[in-house]
Amino acid sequence: MMKLQKSLIAVSLLAALSACSDSDNDSKPTQEVCGIDNCTKFTILHTNDNHGRFWENSYGEYGMAARKTLVDQIRAEVEADGGYSLLLSGGDINTGVPESDLQDAKPDFIGMNLIGYDAMAVGNHEFDNPLSVLDMQADLAEFPFLAANIYKMDGTRYFAPYKVFTLGDLRIAVVGLTTEDTVKIGNPEFISELTFTDPKEELKKVIAEIEENQSADLVFATTHMGHYSNGNHASNAPGDVALARAMKEGQLAAVIGGHSQNPVCMNADGSDYDADFAPGGDCKPDQQNGTWIMQAHEWGKYVGRADFEYYGGKLHLAGYELVPVNLAKFDGYNPEKDADGNIVRIADQIEPDHFVKEVLKPYQEAGQAQLDVVIGSTDKTFVGGDRNVVRARQAAIGQLLISAQRTHPQINADFGIMNGGGIRADIAEGDISYRHVLTVQPFGNVVAKASMKGEELTTYLAALATIEGAGKNGGYAHFSNIEMTVDCDAKSVEIDKINGNTFDANSNYSFSIPNFSASGGDGYPVIDVINTGLVDADILRNYVETSSPLSWADYEPQGEVTYINNPTGYTGGCGAAPVTE
């Protein structure tokens, strides 16, 4: 038995002996002790934001075959202890890995069927494809897609709002909710006939219906809305914290979430995230207004496990953890290895389920084969593998990548920014395959959208444009659809035009930027953004497909960004000149 499972049994035994819980510390009379009388024990297992990761990565981390083994082990343990279990998903099964994307996430939903999911929230990335693809996925899934706040033009809901599960003598209603931001970050071509209503108001309606019909003892929500500490959602739509606070205390037992792709592990007083949380460590879920809120990071890296006990008419959390799924220990950028050369894991190695792996293997192989299919062409090489180009001066490949990002229909920004360190290879003259795209942008970075008033934007761009170390610093910024002069000595910028229009310090401007950069990567200032969830390589693939043949001359910079007063005399950027020009 795994070490982590042993610890959970100890927690459950302690809870039974002391007859107390994290949610209610009052002592209980003997007849209310779980295991003695009128007690139902159940475990909620959960994942979210799969984003195409049906297969393990190159280090043997996560993957649905290993997840199957882990889920089966936990379920067997829970059943042997007289309990019940449900497996929920916080949505976003689609988009992120080409082997999945190229096959409309069929292997992901087949894998979820084999693992035995009970229900799923509908994520915003479920709308990255035509609705016919979503309908196919819903038919393929052997579990319900739940979304109480998505309506069709005829006024009916697209999916069932909730499902009631009977666990022994206990009835649990699981309600599905989707972020309102889908309207902003979803593909307008595919969602124009749908309406996304306020999840808070929709949940109130559903709870009223459940209470009127007395159809459930507890209400859980599986959501794709995001967890933002203390409800500080910035430019994102309100998430799970706001949802819990909007309900009457006691109406909503727990939220099993997704979308923000963070492990929801709070510090001791619950005021903010636990800065010391590390994979395999203790995790205290959030609690707002009597509602537990949980999220298991992303990609199936963890399976969240919440052990509940219901007795005395109240719900008690007996134990919680995020169980790592073959996550490796890293020494810097490389996984640690033992004396025999094997990768060292955070927790005990989970043997992937053989049957699941065999079923999914043909999909992995088919996806790999499709990576070499030609998706476009170029008349000249876009140089991206030379650091003295992409980390030193405005370049055609920077313009190409930003053009793809800022003009994407789910972003549609006034201009764009790209860090030179995120450009890793050339796009050679001739035919272009998806595999070529993945060598240029191999990190799977998400592209975000930001908005600033002109005056604030001037200060922000000055910080980016005057980063020193040309030829070395990956933070060297490429810009597209903006005209400005950068003063390296004064560390300032003078913006002339954005999107072809004269710059106005009092106007608001939107721009695309890698989420890595917006989060402080390469020393950039941290800014609030809308997380589109769109992966850079996927955006570039779509752009190459629709814009080919590419003409290199259309992307070669024409002096839109000019550098002056560089003490070194170099005019391509601020700081030292590259090794060669």
Strand ranges inside 348-467, DSSP E: 374-378, 415-419, 430-433, 446-453
**Separation of first and last alpha carbons in the chain:** 60
Q: Which of 49, 104, 118, 217 is catalytic?
A: 49
Q: Which of 75, 391, 393, 436 is catalytic?
A: 391
Interatomic CA distance for residues 175 and 152, integer angstroms? 18
Q: Which of 50, 67, 75, 92 is catalytic?
A: 92
Interatomic CA distance for residues 496 and 505, integer angstroms? 11
104 has catalytic annotation: no
Q: Which of 157, 171, 424, 435 is catalytic?
A: 424
Classify the C-alpha dihedral 359-365-368-373 as positive or negative: negative
Q: Which of 108, 118, 128, 522 is catalytic?
A: 128
Q: Which of 53, 227, 259, 541 is catalytic?
A: 259
Q: Which of 53, 67, 75, 125 is catalytic?
A: 125
435 has catalytic annotation: no
67 has catalytic annotation: no
125 has catalytic annotation: yes
354 has catalytic annotation: no
Q: Which of 387, 393, 406, 436 is catalytic?
A: 387
Interatomic CA distance for residues 416 and 432, integer angstroms? 24
501 has catalytic annotation: no
Can you give the length of the chain in residues?
A: 581
- Closest to 224 in 3D by CA, of 105, 104, 48: 48
38 has catalytic annotation: no
Interatomic CA distance for residues 315 and 388, integer angstroms? 61
- Please give the structure tokens belonging to residue 401: 């990548």
Phi-psi region of 88 (alpha: psi -120 to 50; beta: other; left: phi over 0): beta
Give the max Cα distance, the chain: 83
Q: Which residues contact 482 (CB under 8 A, 6 or more apart)?
A: 415, 495, 497, 498, 499, 560, 561
Interatomic CA distance for residues 53 and 303, integer angstroms? 14
- Please give the structure tokens belonging to residue 359: 């079923």
- Please give the structure tokens belonging to residue 262: 């963070």
393 has catalytic annotation: no
Q: Which of 94, 149, 261, 405 is catalytic?
A: 261
Angle at 496 between CA 494 and CA 498, to 5 degrees: 115
340 has catalytic annotation: no
227 has catalytic annotation: no
Integer-rounded Cα radius of gyration of the chain: 25
Catalytically active residues, by annotation? 49, 51, 92, 124-125, 128, 224, 259, 261, 387, 391, 424
